[in-house]
C-alpha cells in the first residue's frame, strides 16, 4: 500500500517545503519495513473559479483524478475528529492489512473540502479545534505520516 499526501496549493521554497520534504523522505525510507510500497506528496493548483462552491468542486475533481482506484481516502477538515498518533498509525496498518492499494491524506484549499469529496472519505480528521495555515498543516501531516511509520515499525521516535 502506498501513502499519498495530497494538497491543494503549491508550497513555495522555504522552511515549510523543506520540513514537508524531510518527513516524506523519512517516511519513504522506512516504508518497506512496515509493508508499504511508498510514501509521496502531490499537490494541485488552487482553483480560480469565482464562487467558493465552484472552487471546491473543481478542486475535488482534480484531487480525485490524482488518486488510484480503491484508495482509502482520509480528509483533513476543521470539522473532523481528532485522533491520537497511535490511532492514526493503527488506521494505516488496518488499511494496509485490508489490502487497500493506497491511503490518501487530503488537504483541501482555503475554502475547504467539497461535500462530494468529504462524503467519499473513510475518515474525516482534524488537527484539533484550531484553524491552522495550510503550509503548517502540510508539514504536520507529513510528520504524522512519518510518525505512523515509526509506530508501525516499533521505532522509539514516538514516545508516550
Write out pLDDT tens, residues 6-62: 999 999 999 999 999 999 999 999 999 999 999 999 999 999 999 999 999 999 999
Distant-in-sequence, close-in-space partners of 17: CB < 8 Å, separation ≥ 6: 11
At 80 the pLDDT is: 93
At 134 the pLDDT is: 87
The grid coordinates of residue 135 equal 503550509
DSSP assignment of the chain, as one string? Answer: -EEEEEEES-PPTTHHHHHHHHHHHHHHHHHGGGT--EEEEEEEPPP--SSHHHHHHHHHHHHHHTS-TT-EEEEEEEEEE---HHHHHHHHHHHHHTT-SEEEEEE-BTTB--HHHHTT-SEEE-SSSS---HHHHHHHHHHHHHHHHHHHHT-TTS--
* Of 75 and 155, more confident: 75
- Give residue 78's pLDDT band: very low, low, confident or very high (50, 70, 90): confident
Q: Which domains does the chain have, with CATH numbers?
A: 2-153 (3.40.1280.10)
Distance CA 6, CA 73 (A): 10
Write out pLDDT tens, residues 119-156: 999 999 999 988 888 889 999 999 999 999 999 999 88
Q: Is residue 160 pLDDT above 80, yes or no?
A: no
Amino acid at each position: 500500500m502506498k501513502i499519498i499526501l495530497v494538497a491543494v496549493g503549491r508550497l513555495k521554497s522555504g522552511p515549510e517545503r523543506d520540513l514537508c520534504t524531510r518527513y516524506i523522505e523519512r517516511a519513504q525510507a522506512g516504508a518497506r519495513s512496515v509493508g508499504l510500497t511508498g510514501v509521496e506528496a502531490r499537490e494541485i493548483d488552487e482553483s480560480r473559479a469565482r464562487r467558493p462552491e465552484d472552487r471546491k468542486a473543481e478542486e475535488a475533481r482534480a484531487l480525485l483524478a490524482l488518486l488510484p482506484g480503491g484508495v482509502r481516502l482520509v480528509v483533513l477538515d476543521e470539522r473532523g475528529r481528532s485522533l491520537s498518533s497511535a490511532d492514526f498509525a493503527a488506521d494505516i496498518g488496518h488499511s494496509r492489512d485490508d489490502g487497500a492499494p493506497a491511503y490518501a491524506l487530503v488537504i483541501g484549499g482555503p475554502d475547504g473540502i467539497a461535500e462530494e469529496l468529504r462524503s467519499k472519505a473513510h475518515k474525516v480528521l482534524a488537527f484539533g479545534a484550531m484553524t491552522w495555515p495550510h503550509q503548517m498543516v502540510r508539514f504536520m501531516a507529513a510528520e504524522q505520516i512519518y510518525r505512523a511509520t515509526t509506530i508501525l515499525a516499533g521505532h522509539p521516535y514516538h514516545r508516550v
